[in-house]
Amino acid sequence: MPEIALAPPTDLFRLETDRWTAPFWEAAAQGRLAVPRCGACGTFRLPPTPFCPACRSQALDWVTLSGRGTLYAFTVVRRAGLPGMEGHIPFVPAVVELPDADGARLVTNIVDTPIAEIRIGMSLALVWRRTADGTQVPRFCAADTHHLTEREP
């Protein structure tokens, strides 16, 4: 059996939002990956913040993305750093570039993908998973195996 990237531990995760980040999580709850783009100069930014760092505008457009991603960086966590993590080993924290958001990045996880096949630069597909507190969060798996691993969280 190939070694598969598991879901990370999320027992300690608790969703907090503010007026700038809430639209991201509301869209996520509906299964849409929406990221903010400056309403004045068009610069994407993640996480969502009160001002555009390029032009200081507070105008925002929330853009729903296709869910395509490119793996930018990753690590394979092989040791439980805290009690309760053991059942999640190995899991794969990852930085994923979103090509239809000018390369804005998400800090996320690769899941349901053979670890031996994970390579920087690989094409990824969005899948939705739930954390322990019920928050729907974006995860990614290898684009070419997406049809095999799609399932309800």
Residues at the site binding another protein, with contacts judged by CB under 8 A? 8-10, 12-18, 20-21, 25, 46-47, 53, 72-79, 81-82, 85, 88, 91, 93-95, 104-109, 120-121, 131, 135, 137
How many Å apart are CA 27 and CA 113, to the nearest integer?
25
Min separation Cβ 105 and another protein, Å: 5
CB of 139 to another protein, least distance (A): 9
Q: Considering the complex, what minimum distance in angstroms separates the CB of residue 4 from another protein? A: 15
Query: By 3-state DSSP, what share of the chain in percent is helix, strand and coil, each rounded to 5?
Result: 15, 35, 50
In the complex with another protein, the residue whose CB is nearer, 21 or 145, is: 21
47 vs 99, which CB is nearer to another protein?
47
Question: What burial letters (b/e) apply to 53-63, b meaning 16+ CB within 10 Å?
Answer: eeeeeeebeee
Q: How far is residue 21 CA from its own chain's centroid?
A: 14
